[in-house]
Amino acid sequence: MTPVFIGSGIYRGSSYGAWHPLHIPRVSTVMDLARALGWLPLSQYHTSPRAKPKMLTAFHTPDYITALMRAEALQTVTDATRARHGLGTTANPVFAEMFRRPATGAGGVMLAAELLRDGGVAHVPGGGTHHAMADRANGFCYLNDPVLCLLALRHMGLTRIAYVDIDAHHCDGVDAALAGAPDMLMISVHEDRRWPFTGALGDDAGGRALNLPVPRGFNDTEMRHILHQLVMPVLERFDPQAVVLQCGSDAIEEDPLSRLALSNNAHVETALALRDLSPRLIVLGGGGYNPWSVARCWTRVWGALNGHSADGPLPDAAQDVLRALAWNRRGAGRTPLDHWKTTLNDPAREGPVRPEIIDGVASLRARFDATSPHSRYNGPQGWKKTAQSPAPSP
């Protein structure tokens, strides 16, 4: 099946406010850049529907959905609503599309699940809001569309669903939602000692979560080690019928809200590895607060999923999209670098694999291997089965 892209015009001009880290254009720039490259024909593009309130209560409480819709309609919240539901805060402010925009992201991921009923790949860059809780907004996230996506896949009858999160910030909302779920497996790679200060190495969410906090300066070589020594072998044993990848770009070196040092090469390598592992792959967006890093990363991932590459300078039309971006957030960081406006591919950011990465991977592998001892992964060369390995599940 040809990959599908799910987007919407609601992301064009919608903003959390001029002072907020999410005032920058993200999904709209990805759509513009992909079209400028000829990578987004009409046959692959689907407009995201807005999820109806009843659909959202598959995870969120009816009281919270009512409060969120009322806050958008009135453009204000009471002190009681702010205290109970986390609306109207610095992180989750009142703004014009505060219900419609996240409900569109939720509708997009649920559409992706439906379109992949018989298999395939979907990219939903408007998804990935992984901090929202059932009854409150949290960490720039009003609705938890990753959880709604996972539940939609379960509703289709799938019984082995994996969620992989490479955002710089731990997916606390997903972690809380999936605690103890026997049909779900979560793997999160996130910055240690970074908000929300959850996802410690020993936190397993009832046995179905592998949390790997990583140190500052986390590099491409370390991400590759985690991919081939943890993510791939664990997922091969789990044998997922679907994988949902939260592909937050805030772990890229130039992002202002983390201290990690990946290039977008790591995101592409991860997405392609997971595509080849599972019959269904849904790639979401997530964090990302440098407009050039976000647009280049998610566009490059979409291109790679379609077999496209963009080595060397971009064509003029694509460069024009990147040159039109502005970043006016005070204290946001450096002056834009030339290659942010002329290329998609970041330079590789390789380095040593530090002991805490090696030890963390080994600890999580040992924990998982204790319950699934029948096969082993042989790194980038592929899988090796032991004599006791069961036949693959249907």
DSSP bridge partners of 164? 187, 245
pLDDT in tens, 90-142: 999 999 999 999 999 999 999 999 999 999 999 999 999 999 999 999 999 99
Q: What is the DSSP letter of 119?
A: S
Q: Are 301 and 283 in contact (CB under 8 A)?
A: yes
Q: Are 208 and 362 in contact (CB under 8 A)?
A: no
Number of residues that this document lists for the chain: 394
DSSP bridge partners of 161? 184, 242
Q: Are 366 and 283 in contact (CB under 8 A)?
A: no
pLDDT in tens, 199-255: 999 999 878 899 999 999 999 999 999 999 999 999 999 999 999 999 999 999 999
3-state helix, strand, coil in the chain (%, to 5): 40, 15, 45
Average pLDDT of the residues in 172-181: 93
- Neighbour tally for 307: CB within 10 Å: 8
* Three-state DSSP class for residue 6: strand
For domain 4-378, the CATH architecture is: 3-Layer(aba) Sandwich (3.40)
Q: How far is Cα 298 from Cα 300, in angstroms, rounded to an integer?
A: 5
pTM of the model: 0.93
pLDDT in tens, 38-79: 999 999 999 999 999 999 999 999 999 999 999 999 999 999
Torsion of CA 369, 165, 174, 51, to 10 degrees: -140
DSSP labels, 258-269: ----B-HHHHHH
Which strand (E) or helix (H) includes residue 176? helix 172-178
CA nearest neighbour of 120 among 274, 4, 34: 4
CA nearest neighbour of 345 among 279, 293, 291: 293
> Domain residues of the chain, as ranges?
4-378
The residues annotated with a catalytic role in the active site are 131
Average pLDDT of the residues in 270-280: 97
Q: How far is Cα 377 from Cα 357, in angstroms, rounded to an integer?
A: 18
